[in-house]
Amino acid sequence: MENLRVLVVDDEPGIRFGVTRVLQAFRVRVPESDGDVGFAISQAESGEEALSALAEGGPDILLLDHKLPGISGLEVLEKVAVRDQDMLTIMITAYATIETAVTATKRGAYDFLAKPFTPEELKATIAKTARHLLLRREAKRLAEEKRQVRFQFISVLAHELKAPLAAVEGYLQLLRDHVVEPGSPKSDEVLGRSLLRIEGMRKLIGDILDLTRIESGQKKRELGDVDVREIAGRAIETAQPAARARQITIEVHGPDRLPMRADPGELEIIFNNLVSNAVKYNRDGGRVDVTLAQADQTLVVRVADTGIGMSPEEVGQLGGEFVRIKNAKTRNVMGSGLGLSILKKLAALYDGDVQVESTPDVGTTFTVTLKRQ
Amino acid sequence: MTTPPTILVVDDNPDFLEQMKLQLEAAGFQTVAAESAQQARELLPTTDFALAICDLMMEHSDSGFTLAHAIKRKDPAIPVIMVTAVASEAGVTIDASSKGERAWAGADVILDKPVRFEQLTREISRLLKLPH
């Protein structure tokens, strides 16, 4: 059980001992934390004593009498607030005047307790304060975690962009230094490879823009009545040139019209990702089957290829961002490693999900379910 | 005129491998390329080469080391140049200043990526005792 440290500052021994007795046995249920929260209480009888206790490491909750001999409660508050501690203060006031309240709040007091107070009033105020404190800490922790993930994402991204850039730079230097004679067949090959790397970078940047647009929620969703079959058809047309070059057949199965309320742009990204991947990771002469079906309020999109497939371990790895399955078979396939992340985020917008089934050298089937909006 | 020496180049980065090959061929060498330490190992018994240039981190972070040792087992006289991006990516420098360290690594020379080609050809000439 987590214990929050409480420091009671009051010159009246009765208050100090009363608070200690009541809070020692008190437990607060905090939904976000596992189990109850208890309290460990320490005492100070003057402002001076309070300040030296605070200097040694602040409590989580400060119960501070307003009227103290010597340094007053408000002065203590002022000195403490400057330090910006991760602590909440409850002012104990005998004659609660508006001015005191305003000053105390300005200096960062979280709540007030008017003397005399009952054990119930004390418990209610402490419970409220404890919950607020723990929620605030949790929010802070989550924000920090998010920041860390973001950093990691950016550093991997930089690396992913650096690699093709280094490749293109190397090829250009070969041409500049006439290691490869300009105009020779070799130079055509070098230029072709450079353009391929640039295309890969373009795809990566496009995927990142998609991903950030979805994540930031900045792009307004434009829900309208769309024909899923038509969008699937367009994605297939886009993939046709690449498919034809490798004698891959793409077929679509399902009703001729499949109306749905959705954002057409989002559906396009989903279908383009699914179909282009099914072509990319296919074998020459293979096939891609796009099956559309609806059950109740759910649209099921299944895209199956007859490609290189993945082992169960590789399927497990697939979830992470920038994860690309690296093996001899994927060596010549370009990808950003962001496709599945994008699919999952989009599916989540439709309360849906993405599932992957795969067998090495047989093929992979992606199933995306989307709930009607 | 004698035939130019053959150099085995091993790197899992296809662009780097291709660029290295083009450079070496332009400099008058013959090349044999392998895209993994595994592929290089398969080539070893049947391929004759005068010198090898291996990337350090391929399938595994020490693929280059184990490959270098395999090459030395085949023929201890074949010089091995190890190229590595460790320094630029992880900020680690492999200390190859002493003969013992280099022998431990299985490499005669260790070069950091990006490799300056003039330096590479200089090292090749020195190791193969070529004129100029």
In this structure, what CATH number is given to the domain that contains residue A323? Answer: 3.30.565.10
A/B interface, count of CB pairs below 8 Å? 30
Model confidence over A275-329: pLDDT tens digits?
Answer: 988 998 899 999 999 999 988 789 999 999 998 888 888 887 776 666 655 555 5
| In chain A, % of residues over pLDDT 90 | 35
> Measured between beta carbons, which residues in chain A are less than 8 angstroms from residue B19?
167, 170-171, 174
> Between B13, B15, B35, which is nearest A193 by CB?
B15
Parse chain B into domains and list their residue ranges: 6-128
Partner A contacted by B21 (CB < 8 A): no
Per CATH, the homologous superfamily of domain B6-128 is Response regulator (3.40.50.2300)
Residue A180 lies in a domain: no
Domain count within chain A: 2
Range of the domain at A65: 2-141
What CATH number does residue A77 fall under? 3.40.50.2300
Say whether B15 and A167 touch across the interface (CB within 8 A): yes
Model confidence over A179-220: pLDDT tens digits?
Answer: 998 889 999 999 999 998 898 888 888 888 887 877 777 667
Give chain A as a 3 state SS string.
CEEEEEEEECCCHHHHHHHHHHHHCCCEECCCCCCEEEEEEEEECCHHHHHHHHHCCCCCEEEEECCCCCCCHHHHHHHHHHCCCCCEEEEEECCCCHHHHHHHHHCCEEEEEECCCCHHHHHHHHHHHHHHHHHHHHHHHHHHHHHHHHHHHHHHHHHHHHHHHHHHHHHHHHHHCCCCCCCCHHHHHHHHHHHHHHHHHHHHHHHHHHHHHHHHCCCCCCCEEEEHHHHHHHHHHHHHHHHHHCCCEEEEECCCCCEEEECHHHHHHHHHHHHHHHHHCCCCCCEEEEEEEEECCEEEEEEEECCCCCCHHHHHHCCCCCCCCCCCCCCCCCCCCCHHHHHHHHHHHCCCEEEEEEECCCEEEEEEEEECC
Tell me: do A126 and A231 sit in the same domain: no
- Average pLDDT along chain A: 85
What residue of A is the nearest CA neighbor of B25? A179
Q: How far is A167 from chain B (nearest CA, A)?
A: 6
Reply yes or no on whether the pLDDT at A120 is more than 70. Answer: yes
Residue A187 lies in a domain: no
Residue A159 lies in a domain: no
pTM of the model: 0.61
What residue of B is the nearest CA neighbor of A332? B14
Partner A contacted by B19 (CB < 8 A): yes
Of residues A356 and B92, more confidence is placed in A356
Residue A146 lies in a domain: no
Most confident of A43-52, A307-316, B89-98: A43-52
Residue A236 lies in a domain: yes
Q: Domain ends where: A141, A166, A196? A: A141
Tell me: do A228 and A110 sit in the same domain: no
A172, A180, A188, A198: best to mutate for the B interface, most B CBs within 10 A? A180
- Interface predicted TM-score (ipTM) of this complex, two decimals: 0.80
Q: Check residue B94 and give its pLDDT.
A: 59
Residue A165 lies in a domain: no
Reply yes or no on whether the pLDDT at A5 is more than 90. Answer: yes
Tell me: do A228 and A367 sit in the same domain: yes
Residue A94 lies in a domain: yes
Residue A284 lies in a domain: yes
Q: How far is A334 from chain B (nearest CA, A)?
A: 13
Q: Domain ends where: A103, A121, A141? A: A141
Q: Check residue A228 and give its pLDDT.
A: 93
Tell me: do A231 and A99 sit in the same domain: no
Q: Domain ends where: A85, A117, A141? A: A141
Model confidence over A262-285: pLDDT tens digits?
Answer: 888 889 889 998 998 899 889 999
Tell me: do A132 and A254 sit in the same domain: no
Reply yes or no on whether the pLDDT at B61 is more than 80. Answer: no
> Between A174, A328, A331, which is nearest B19 by CB?
A174
Reply yes or no on whether the pLDDT at A373 is more than 60. Answer: yes
